[in-house]
Structure 1
Amino acid sequence: MLISSPFAADAVLAAPTVCDPARTASLLDFHGLVDELARVALDYDAGRIVSPERLVVPLGDGGVMLSMPAAAHDIGIHKLVNVQPANARLGLPTIHGIVTVCDSITGRPLCLLDGPEVTGRRTAAVSLLAIRVLRGRAPEDVLLIGTGIQARHHLKALRAVYPHCRIRVRGQDATASEAFCTATGSDLVSPCGRETPEAVDVVITLTTSTMPVYDEPARAGRLVIGVGAFKPEMAELGGTTLLGSDVYADDPAGARHEAGDLLRAGVDWNHVRSLATALRQPRDPARPAVFKSVGTAAWDLAAARVAMSALAAGR
């Protein structure tokens, strides 16, 4: 049986739309991203989206090329990201990348999106989805630990979806925290010292630390989200927090290989639940919870859907 493509047949020969970082960002509204990620999480868990483990290929001077495909009934995506730490001394970005979007039926390339922008915005949106599902209500007081690129994306996401939320920032030192907060120009964003205020109801760690940057006793009603550690040797969250909390992961299979925090703490993997499980089975938001974000190309596919819808609407 011939399956029709959702994309116009008269555009078969059209060149794919190429989006620079600014255009890519304009297509990825955070409200739409969170909603689409919720749908994709359920589809991915049910096997309706294929997202294999990423392929890592070495590049010169210590760099790596990361290949991450995903496919669904409507579109397929391939994110190709080059990570080159040596670029710092050249004054160049450490990460370069692109997301290619194609029609699943014909294979025709439809769009090229900026890889770092897709990754940053969809990762922040995954954190917002975790807040929506695991907390059950809007956060009032959030602590961001880290002042890098992901911290900036999370700040944008929080201000877009929860504009009245207070945001505290803990950087590597007081100078970094102050500079980050001053750049926002918002009275709702302020530096935070080493002690976490009791009022904080969500903590989001956004560093590449190899030692825990947050290891406080689990607190009822507080959600802790670990984002930055993406290798087995990295660990942002400590065992005190993890072993006293309900633990969720966006992709538990990937977390077994990449979530250094969980590996070091020796969590019981039989009790690490997926984001899809949280979507299907509401939990008691009063219980302390940890959400570990490791990422999967399925989330990039969700972002590509949002971008394609925005393009189709003429945005």
Structure 2
Amino acid sequence: MTSGFRTLSRADVVALGGTDPQAALEDICDVVTLMRQNAAQMPAETHVSLGTPRGKAYALPASVGGRFNAAGVKWTAHRPDANDKLPQAMALTLINRADNGQPLGLVESGALTATRTAAVSALALRHAAPRPVQRVLLLGAGVQAMAHLDMLRHLFPHLQQVSWWDRRASALPFETAQLPWPLIRVADLQIALAQDADAVITCTSAAEPLLGPEAIRPGRLVIQVGYHEVSFAAINRSTRVLVDLWGDFCETSAKSLFQMYRAGKFLPEHVDADLGNLLLDGWRPAADDSVYFSSFGLNVFDIALASRVLKLAAERGTGTHLSLFPE
């Protein structure tokens, strides 16, 4: 007997709370604890070419126990050279039960990925910032930037101000009346960086660094979400270097810190803390530190969030139900 298999569209995921920043934050805190307890696995990814210089499809497996009881794989196609007006990244997550392998469902994961990434940034803002965060500078206007703006709206309503920069001079992404703090559009990135932002969050697709050493200041947290947005010189100038996790992905990832490592200009032992140290060990920077946080994006979080929304879908009878095997 089996309860069947469910597919969830992005609309289903949103309706089931998959983009709720608080729920994602709670999921990630639980997963970090389970990782420390050796109740989670995250093997190395594998990928195939999509026939363009930067096009690749990645398979990212993971499993996590506890309330999630999920094993799965996230399959993401990165299509930066496609000209079909569809998203540059398309992600699906397949979930099985971790205890017996029963297939549970397939979840459209673009929104989940952005939400879990923003939740990790929320943890960094709370635990890795040298000083209480009052002013944030957000870079980018894509899916990740919008998820971060939504996270700030829900989890940091008492900020004094959020400044926002995008190289394409896009229109403001929200009706400002919906926001609990002023959202200030800035046209000149260097002028914005010279101002008193307590935290800078980079959510762009930049292939070359946007932030040089002048962006690094005592008391400031820089969170890198995108690919290669922060120069080696800026990372070198930071007094503290933090990661969500240091793993085998350092050998292939395009993130600035891992490129720096492969160039022989950064040693893993120079990482000061990861998420486990922040959440479970109470690691904190000094008030005059300049902190750089590299957010790789852990697929074990995707497995956990997809598992949660699939369980809710089964309870509520939502999504598209398929019978894979004879009942």
TM-score (norm 1): 0.83
Do residues 51 (structure 1) and 42 (structure 2) align?
yes
Do residues 171 (structure 1) and 166 (structure 2) align?
yes
Q: CA RMSD in A?
A: 2.6
Question: Which one of 48, 56, 64 corresponds to residue 56 of structure 2?
Answer: 64
CA deviation profile, 1:29-63 (whole Å, cap 9, x unmatched) = 21121122122123324532111111111224553
Change (3 A) 1:313 1:123: same
Match of 1:24 in 2: 13
Aligned-residue offset at 1:248: 0.6
Amino acid at match of 1:284: P
Q: 1:217·1:244 contact (CA, 8 Å) conserved in 2?
A: no
Match of 1:126 in 2: 120
Comparing 17-26 with 260-269, which one deviates more in the overlay? 260-269
Comparing 126-135 with 45-54, which one deviates more in the overlay? 45-54
What's the secondary structure of 1:22's corresponding residue? helix
What's the secondary structure of 1:139's corresponding residue? coil
Do residues 264 (structure 1) and 264 (structure 2) align?
no
Aligned-residue offset at 1:252: 1.3
The 5-angstrom pairing of residues 103-252 of structure 1 reads 103-135=97-129, 139-165=133-159, 166-173=161-168, 175-176=169-170, 179-181=171-173, 186=179, 188-192=182-186, 193-194=188-189, 195=191, 196=193, 198-215=195-212, 216=214, 218-229=216-227, 234-252=228-246
Amino acid at match of 1:207: T
Aligned-residue offset at 1:284: 3.2
Comparing 139-148 with 305-314, which one deviates more in the overlay? 305-314
Unpaired stretches in structure 1, ≥5 consecutive residues: 1-11
Match of 1:34 in 2: 25
Match of 1:276 in 2: 276
Match of 1:296 in 2: 298
Structure with the bigger RCO (C-alpha within 8 Å, sep 6+) is 2
Comparing 239-248 with 144-153, which one deviates more in the overlay? 239-248
Residue identity (%): 26
TM-score (norm 2): 0.81
Matched residues in 1 for 2:283 and 2:131: separation?
12
Aligned-residue offset at 1:183: 5.5
Comparing 159-168 with 252-261, which one deviates more in the overlay? 252-261
Unpaired stretches in structure 2, ≥5 consecutive residues: 319-327
Change (3 A) 1:145 1:24: same
What's the secondary structure of 1:66's corresponding residue? strand
Question: Which one of 71, 78, 83 corresponds to residue 78 of structure 2?
Answer: 83
Change (3 A) 1:110 1:285: farther
Comparing 252-261 with 103-112, which one deviates more in the overlay? 252-261
What's the secondary structure of 1:211's corresponding residue? coil
